[in-house]
Structure 1
Amino acid sequence: MREDKRKNRRTKEPSAEDGPELFEKVVHINRCAKVVKGGRRFSFAALVVVGDQKGNVGFGYGKAQMVPDAIRKGTDQAKKAMHPVSISGDTIPHSILGTYDGGKVFLRPARQGTGIIAGGGVRAVLEAAGVKNILSKSLGSNNQLSVVTATLNGLSQLRTAQEISNIRGEEVSGPKFTVEKAEVTIPEVATT
């Protein structure tokens, strides 16, 4: 319960002054300590993910002496770093492995109603991008910055069938994935 309240506090709902509606999520806040003659001097770093939930997403890493300033800097950096990702419907077009440093994130499309099966930084990026149904597995490093960057790396590699056909200069062809509904009849059982 307490964990949910803390997570919800870091998710900012879009306001009218933001311009286009943007989803902002603070993924991680890191406190750093510098030891000086008079004691310890603390500073903060905030990892923020921003997206329009329509296929554009970016992240920023802001550093400052106070937490609100770090979040603001991270948000500004994330807005500047936004780039489009390929989404088909409410999932991704195909499976992909995104990597960055030691972090690896495996993303796999899922059926309608599955939801976002992901943790922490991966979930924040996928929600900001507008993906509704996906399966993911984070491998390797647990560093939030590496995980978020690996997720964005994977999303940037995605291509829809239409994009690939445009690159190759061919038309999209293949089997139609339509399933005809079979008529089911249930035989009546005689009761004695």
Structure 2
Amino acid sequence: MSFNMEEWEPKTNVGRMVKDGTITDIDEIFEKGLSIMELEIIDALLPDLEEEVMDVNLVQRMHKSGRKVNFRVIVAVGNKNGYVGLGQGKAREVGPAIRKAVDNAKYNIIKVRRGCGDWGCVCGRQHTVPFKVDGKAGSVNVTLMPAPAGVGLAIGDVGKTIMSLAGYEDVWSQTSGQTQTTINFANAVFDALKEVCKVKASENDLKAMGVISK
């Protein structure tokens, strides 16, 4: 369903600022530490998000009224240009579970850094992670490392989907643990991407890694 800005009636201050044009870039929201409480904010500021369903699983649990069966879905969203989110949803039917997962992924959107951090690459493009980062979820550990242009995404399919949606073209990786567990592998990769945002570096260092244009 396409988003219609005219029909949207914001319920929060941030939403109203987006609709009236006071905020025109999602980076303003991130930089000010504002909370995103309405999905329409994401739809308005990141209209080109793509969605990928990475896993659909049946989850059973015992209840006093009998066995309950739900579908658990894992979805990644991204615009392939520096923004990516990961979410999951549960419902008795696949369709509603997917919609819940997509909404959850949008609420979890982060901005990632991209650069040219490999010592053997001097292309200057924002195609890889600018430095080595680690992520963990459950038993799964993931390390993402800068790679020269042309290597591609040297990581498992789940990680490849998330990295591609974030806008990365090349990466080296190391993984350990039960990586066949999709939810943990996906969360570990996403955790590593969060670390890309958290690492503090000077402007000169960021320029040297290609994160900021010289």
| TM-score (normalizing by structure 2) | 0.64
Preserved CA contact (<8 Å) 1:29 1:44? yes
Q: Over aligned residue pairs, what C-alpha RMSD do you find?
A: 3.0
Q: Say which one has the larger Rg.
A: 1
Tell me the secondary structure at the aligned position of residue 202 of structure 2.
helix
Gaps in structure 1 of 5+ consecutive residues: 1-14, 176-192
Alignment of 1:1-192 (within 5 A): 17=3, 20-34=47-61, 41-88=68-115, 89-142=126-179, 143-158=181-196, 164-166=201-203, 171-172=204-205
CA gap 1:42/1:101 in 2 versus in 1, 3 angstroms: closer
Deviation at 1:120, TM superposition (A): 2.7
Gaps in structure 2 of 5+ consecutive residues: 4-42, 116-125, 209-214
Tell me the secondary structure at the aligned position of residue 73 of structure 2.
strand
Preserved CA contact (<8 Å) 2:89 2:99? yes
Preserved CA contact (<8 Å) 1:86 1:156? no
Preserved CA contact (<8 Å) 1:49 1:60? yes
Matching residue's letter, 2:112 = V
Tell me the secondary structure at the aligned position of residue 33 of structure 1.
strand
Q: Structure 1, residues 56-90: CA drift from partner, whole Å, max 9, x if none?
A: 11111100010111011000010011011111111
Deviation at 1:139, TM superposition (A): 1.1
Matching residue's letter, 1:145 = I
Matching residue's letter, 2:183 = L
Matching residue's letter, 2:184 = S
Indicate the residue corresponding to 2:7 in structure 1. none
Identity of matched residues, %: 29
Tell me the secondary structure at the aligned position of residue 201 of structure 2.
helix
Deviation at 1:104, TM superposition (A): 0.5
Instruction: Determine the C-alpha separation between the residues in 1 that align with 2:103 and 2:206.
Output: 43
Matching residue's letter, 1:132 = E
Instruction: Determine the C-alpha separation between the residues in 2 that align with 1:48 and 1:111.
Output: 28
Preserved CA contact (<8 Å) 1:86 1:160? no
Preserved CA contact (<8 Å) 2:111 2:197? no
For these two proteins, the number of residue pairs brought into alignment is 157
Instruction: Determine the C-alpha separation between the residues in 2 that align with 1:148 and 1:54.
Output: 19
Deviation at 1:160, TM superposition (A): 9.9
